[in-house]
Amino acid sequence: MATTGKNLASGPGWQVSDVICTARAGDRPFEEQHRSFCIAAVTRGTFRYRTRQGTAVLAPGAILLGNPGACYECGHEHGAGDRCLSFHFSPAYIESLVAGVPGAKRLGFAGPRLPPLPALAPLLAQAEAAREMADSEAFEELGLRIAGAVIGAAADTPEVARTPSRRDQKRVAEAVRLIELNAERPLSLAELADGAATSPYHFLRTFRHVAGMTPYQFLLRTRLHRAAVRLRASDEAISTIAFDAGFNDLSTFNRRFRRKMGEAPGAYRDKRAGGRGR
């Protein structure tokens, strides 16, 4: 079996797992069935996700959406392996959330995924840090907050009219992999487009259509996310974390981190462990 899941925490109506897939290009896509509502945050790798709601290429930061009873298929023809934080919720749990989220009128998800969203960035970094630190107590609140945010975002997100071609999916998956491997160094649009064997203009449009954001936005999100995880999980100097993530100066890092996460790096770090200090 190419996929393994480790239970991280659970409670009445909810459960979260660390799911690791080792499938590679050439392996046969596997089909499974969602037994409950699934909201899975991709933290590493890319893969193709196909369900009755549509087909999407999922990259780090994207949110996989699944409805109970829906069959789905995952394929890795464009890359090897992935890792997800997979939250599962009972219909009653989701129904109670839908009732309390403005604009949410349906119990099921209309689309297969959500692109990386700025509003979710702090929560996902906190969840990944909780996974790395084996902080099971943090997941009850995190799961509730993430599910509520996803339901609210899904209610306002129109379905994508056109499914990206397999060639476009492959180009974007390769670019995502290049960004993940080299996020700490400068990466120009021209370099990424050259790697995809297409013009910068076409590559920019294709990347945004498939990934839900521009290449630069994805690069910046990757850097800030890694920095946020290290801030939560370690006592390293903020300047060291900033430079290792690919930022050239501390002031730029502080400004971008505050804009993306809603608070300064030091304040974000001080909130770990429920505010019990460093």
* pLDDT for the residue numbered 165: 85
* pLDDT for the residue numbered 77: 81
CA dist., res. 155 & res. 257, Å (int): 27
Please give the domain boundaries of the chain with CATH numbers for all domains.
3-156 (2.60.120.10), 166-275 (1.10.10.60)
* pLDDT for the residue numbered 65: 96
pLDDT < 70 regions, the chain: 1, 157-162, 273-278
The C-alpha torsion from 35 through 138 and 142 to 122, rounded to 10°, is -130
* pLDDT for the residue numbered 7: 97
Please compute Rg for the chain using Cα positions.
18
β-pair partners for 48? 57, 75
Burial of 252 (0-12, 13-18, 19+ CB in 10 A): exposed
* pLDDT for the residue numbered 276: 41
